[in-house]
Amino acid sequence: MNIMKKNSLSTLLTSALLLPQSTYASLTTGGVEVTMNLPLFASLTGLDDFSLNINTGVDGDGNSTYLGGDVFHLESNGLR
């Protein structure tokens, strides 16, 4: 081999040996930010025996009002 090829080969091997080390060093000194997008959901439970009672008007009429109530549970991953 002539001198020019030996120098090129030596430079190439040195670069190949040093490159992974410098890449590894830069990965260990940085930071990482992870983000996720979760869809909103809500779930109501405990409305098994909900009933309405006539308050004013005649049962079934258009302007009748009803009262009712029950205990229920709301589960949600939203802020509000």
- The position carrying tokens 């229920």 is 72
Count of domains for the chain: 1
Confidence of residue 76 (pLDDT cuts 50, 70, 90): very high
User: Which domain does 17 fall in, by range?
Assistant: 3-76
Indicate whether 49 pLDDT > 70: yes
Tokens found for residue 80 = 């509000």
Tokens found for residue 26 = 């830069």
**40-45 mean pLDDT:** 90
**Residue 41: CB partners within 8 Å, gap ≥ 6?**
76, 77
Tokens found for residue 10 = 């030596």
- Find out whether 70 and 47 touch, Cβ atoms under 8 Å: yes
Q: List, for residues 6-42, the tens digit of each pLDDT value.
A: 556 566 556 555 555 544 555 566 677 888 888 999 9
Q: What is the pLDDT of residue 62?
A: 82
